[in-house]
Structure 1
Amino acid sequence: MAISGGMTSPRIHSFGDDALGEHDAVALAQLVRDGQVSPVELADAAIARIRLVDPALNAIAADLFDAPRFASADVAARGALAGVPTLIKDNTDVEGVPTNHGSEAFSARPARRDGAYTAQYLSTGMTLLGKSRMPEFGFNATTEFRTGEPTRNPWRADHSVGASSGGSAALVAAGAVPIAHANDGGGSIRIPAACAGLVGLKCSRGRHVDGEQARRLPINMVSEGVLTRTVRDTAAFVAAAEDHWRNPKLPPIGLVHGPARRRLRVGVVVEPVTRAPVDEPTRAAVERVAALLEDAGHVVEPIEIAVDPRFPDDFVQYWALLADLATSTGKLTFDRSFDRRMTDGLTAGLRSHHRRRLGRTPGAIRRLRRVAGDWATMFARHELVLSPVLAHATPPLGFLAPGVPFDQLIDRLVQWVSYTPVDNIAGTPAISLPLGTSDGGLPVGVHLSAAHGDERTLLETAFALEEAAPFERIYA
């Protein structure tokens, strides 16, 4: 395990002189196609790297190290990322592997079949090495647990790596795999991307095959995707996933190769709807990106956020409804062994919050269903909205732990996760890019949102920003 960055702020990573090297997924897939390296060699190197760093990071939920799942010959022949090692998040079924949703309240039996989204994910030809950790049911914005060890941030192990796709983020950032599955119901791709210095694209509602849980939600706010270290890996993945299945109701994305030449109108929002204080490194990162976009010839101007001021309370009410549903139906939804008394403090607190305010749920859902129309007005005059991902840099472990008293914890979460949930409720695409640094040397993410179905503009702009301000590497 390589450690860099000084004794006060060690970075944990596994980059080295093996088959993976410092390559991203696109480069590795090309090496496989050229016959310079085999999928077996890449899998062996990734397994060795995971074994090296995971004792420190605690990011693996279940492994397939003894029998990696390689793509079949026909899938490998057409898969754009064939042979690239990867992980799937522990809320998505993989045949023969338990799906425990990060919870200690039950012990899942091995899944009988792949989940609906798993086929689309693995249609890219990637090699599956296991499942990544997540907080209980994805409700928290940090990957911490009721009793177990937390998943740690490889940039600084005493800090949160975000959530809910925290295990995937930790292992991609540490170099163990170049790309890993993530999904996002309130920021769960973009938050860990921001915390771990990664690229995290949340696609438009309906862009990918919905997972089983998302299909049953009163408002489907979950988007599937990946965490990567480069924009081109994210672009390659969404194009490859589209080759497997494309929603005919959305414009195709296709393979985005780089920046576009067109002039964009970019609206800037710094003050969140929660009115949370925004720290200086976060403000500075947004201002830097605004300047880069302006220098590139785009029109950049401040705008007002077009969201009902009741949105934060309504989102918490909906979040609490989901916790109530999960715990009330756990024996049917998850496993017969489900024991509600073993859920963590956040899940239990959200359930109680909902039970105390049942009468508010219909109004909250009614207003949340209007968010898509309100949010669409943001893109009537602007192609992009620029904002922070989070109101401040990633906190130390423990700050958002599920054992923190509920009222204090929910206030901290709402104050931190102040930007990302709107795109989930509206169904619009958004991306987190690692374009800032905190005073403590941790990554800070910058957020771009676009109109429903316009992932292409996000990716083209992300390519331009990556070129203008190359992302910091953990091994630098």
Structure 2
Amino acid sequence: MGERLHAFTDDALGDDDAVGLAERLRRGEVAGTEVRDAVAARLDRVDPVLRGLTLGRLDEPVTGDPAGPLAGVPTLVKDNTEVRGWPTTNGTSAYFPRPSRAHSAATAQLLASGLDLLGTSRMPEYGLNASTEFARADPTRNPWNPEYSSGASSGGAAALVAAGVVPLAHANDGGGSIRIPAAACGLVGLKPTRGQTAPNAQGAHMPIDLVSDGVLSRSVRDTATFLAAADRNRRTPALPPLGLVEGPAPRRLRIGLVLDPPTGAQVDADTRSCVEDVARLLEKQGHEVSPATTGVGMRFVDDFLDYWGLLAFSLVTGGKLMHGASFDGGRLDPLTHGLSDHYRHAMARTPAVLHRLSRIRQHYAELFTGHDVLLSPVLAHVTPRLGWLSPTVPFDTLRERLLDYVAFTPLCNVAGAPAVSLPAGVAGNDLPVGVHLSAAHGDERTLLELAYALEADRPWRRIQDAAAAPW
């Protein structure tokens, strides 16, 4: 068994979640300077090993709205999201990052909720991988066992939230990039409906927008509080009002249990057991659970891979246009080049791929005529050891490994639908396993109510309940 590495201690942060810390700040029980000092000390303790931080700005934070529900709570912004005056690397060394000229819409939304921005968190190159690993730099490590992956692409955020450095952190999701690291690190990770939160700058330029912004947290109420603030500050007329969801609801839901991924991958025994255990708990809570299928297969998987390759191809061929003369395509990771080369051979299929993917939203909506929620694994197997998904692995091998791992999450990105990863249990190697709940467009309320009920009946395992490792 690997040993855990965390930073929880008796300081200004304590073991509060974001809502609890915000309440103590409002009551004057702790000062913002004390909180930032605690974050700095915790980073010093764990980040030399975990490597979750890209840029630290603890001495010159960007402070949020003092009237926001999370006022004064420290957080980190994912390193693909612009903060005025801060460089944004997108996880790559292929260009020289310049300070951003303005806040992105996602950054403005974080600040409106009251959060204080103390730096940026690491991610793999352009978010293309499912592990936060690099060809020319040390990986980000999982605090539950630093020999293992923290997931991706919001892997730095997940590692530092799970280790107790900050209560929650910004994340975004274009194929599972909130939910995958949440599952790997034992966190709550909700990917909102497309349009529920501020539009993502990268997603807005995609032929089919896959990306939604949100947070990674250690409690359901933190995620619910952030989403309520986002809903209040920026209403989306096409979606139903969300408001603040504060607990479970006494509704009996029809839950479809999906255990077979469209990739044809085999779900490992530990993951399957944890998901089936959650299904039994949901039945005990009074819900109706029955077998279900997503109705998509390898055609969808192949189309999504072609589309992923299109995104990499646009980076390889358009890097100088996006990032300026300092861009050097030769410094891109082998995975980025492999995906781009894959697309070169698939280019003729582009019109058909885009047509089929654009129709997925309608297909997805039809799944919820007979179900209120779909329950599945987040991933087909427990998070792997570092190196298994390294971008330096030969592309054909890495592609198959990724398809065998990221087997459930992309459907909600293409459909633009909400989904959440929740801690479901523990694998035989003592690493967290996540369960995936997805719902109809705009129905974050049902997901949050169900998450509250699961959290109450089976509280998440806490990393701080075990001794920290002597790293």
- Scaled to the shorter chain, the TM-score interval is over 0.9
Name which of 163, 173, 180 aligns with 1:184.
Answer: 173
In structure 2, distance between residues paired with 1:384 and 1:334 = 41
1:33 to 26, 29, 43: 26
Q: State the secondary structure of the residue aligned to 1:338.
A: coil
Please state if 1:369 is matched with 2:358: yes
Question: Which amino acid in structure 2 is aligned with residue 66 of structure 1?
Answer: D
What pairs up with 1:426-445 in 2 under 5 angstroms? 426-445=415-434
SS at the partner of 1:433? Answer: strand
5 Å matches for 1:148-163?
148-163=137-152
Instruction: Determine helix, strand or coil for the equivalent of 1:475.
Output: helix
Is 2:17 aligned against 1:24?
yes
Deviations 1:25-45 (A, max 9, x none): 000000111111122211111
**How far is 1:85 from its partner?**
0.5
Name the residue aligned to 1:65.
Answer: 58
SS in 1 for 2:62: coil
- Structure 1 residues 135-178: Cα deviation after superposition (integer angstroms, max 9, x where no partner): 00000000000110000000000100000000000000000000
CA contact (8 A) 1:43 1:127 kept: no
Worse overlay, 328-337 or 140-149:
328-337
Q: 2:201 aligns with which of 208, 212, 223?
A: 212
Instruction: Indicate whether 1:407 and 2:396 are aligned.
Output: yes
CA distance in 2, matches of 1:16, 1:317: 47
Q: Which amino acid aligns with 1:219?
A: I
Query: Counterpart of 2:111?
Result: 122
2:468 paired residue number? none
Aligned to 2:292: 303
Give the unaligned 5+ runs of structure 1. Answer: 1-7
Shift of 1:248: 1.2
Distance between the aligned counterparts of 1:323 and 1:304, measured in 2?
30
Q: What letter corresponds to residue 42 of structure 1 in structure 2?
A: V
Indicate conservation of the 8 Å contact 2:70/2:113, yes or no: yes
CA distance in 2, matches of 1:22, 1:209: 29
Residue aligned with 2:274, SS: helix
Are 1:14 and 2:7 matched, yes or no? yes
Task: Kindly indicate whether the alpha-carbon contact (under 8 Å) linking 1:273 and 1:419 is maintained by their aligned counterparts in 2.
Answer: yes
Q: Aligned partner of 1:361: which letter?
A: T
SS in 1 for 2:243: coil
Query: 1:301-380 alignment to 2 at 5 Å?
Result: 301-380=290-369
The alpha-carbon deviation at position 304 of structure 1 amounts to: 2.2
Q: 1:332 and 1:140 mapped to 2: Cα distance?
A: 23
Work out the CA distance in 1 between the residues paired with 2:38 and 2:464.
18
1:194-230 CA deviation, whole Å, 9 max, x = no partner? Answer: 0000000000011111122111110001010000001
Match of 2:91 in 1: 102
CA distance in 2 between partners of 1:335 and 1:247 (Å):
34
- Contact 2:63–2:111 (CA under 8 A) maintained in structure 1: no
Q: Secondary structure at the match of 2:402?
A: helix
1:475 aligns to 2:468 (yes or no):
no
Where in structure 2 are there 5+ consecutive unaligned residues?
A: 466-471
Return structure 1 stretches of 4+ with deviation > 2 angstroms. none
Question: Which residue type is aligned with residue 315 of structure 1?
Answer: F
How high is the sequence identity, in percent, across the aligned residues?
A: 55
Counterpart check, 1:171 vs 2:154: no
| 2:189 pairs with 1:200 | yes
**Offset at 1:308?**
4.7
Looking at structure 2, the residues matched to 244 and 435 of structure 1 have their Cα atoms a distance apart, in angstroms, of 32
- For 2:469, the equivalent position in structure 1 comes to none
Q: Do the aligned residues in 1 keep the contact of 2:178 with 2:191 (CA within 8 Å)? A: yes
The CA deviation string for residues 104-127 of structure 1, in whole angstroms up to 9 with x for no partner, is: 111111111111221011111111
Following the alignment from structure 1 to structure 2, what is the Cα–Cα distance between the partners of residues 20 and 153? 21
Q: Deviations over 1:64-95 (max 9, x none)?
A: 02212223xxx20x200001000000000011
Q: Supply the AA of the counterpart residue of 2:295.
A: A
Offset at residue 355 of structure 1 (A): 0.7
The residue type paired with residue 376 of structure 1 is A
Aligned equivalent of 1:50: 43
- Which of 48, 63, 85 pairs up with 2:74? 85
Task: Confirm or deny: 8 A CA contact 2:263 2:297 kept in the other structure.
Answer: no
Aligned 1:381-400 pairs, distance under 5 A = 381-400=370-389
**8 Å Cα contact 1:306/1:377 also seen in 2:** no
Whether the 8 Å contact between 1:39 and 1:127 is mirrored in structure 2 is: no
In 1, distance between residues paired with 2:257 and 2:15? Answer: 34
Contact 1:161 1:394 (8 Å CA) reproduced: yes
In 2: Cα distance, 1:255 partner to 1:163 partner: 28
**Alpha-carbon distance in 1 for matches of 2:77, 2:41:** 18
The count of aligned residue pairs is 465
Indicate the larger mover: 262-271 or 39-48.
39-48
Distance 2:435 2:283 in 1: 16
Aligned mates of 2:356, 2:452 — CA distance in 1: 35
Contact conserved, 1:151 with 1:160, CA < 8 A, in 2? Answer: yes
When the two structures are superposed, what TM-score results if normalisation uses the length of structure 2? 0.98
1:333 Cα deviation from its structure 2 partner:
1.3
- Code of the residue aligned with 2:49 in structure 1: it is A
Amino acid at match of 1:87: L
Local SS of the residue matching 1:357: helix
Displacement of 1:331 in angstroms is 1.3
Deviation at 1:334, TM superposition (A): 2.5
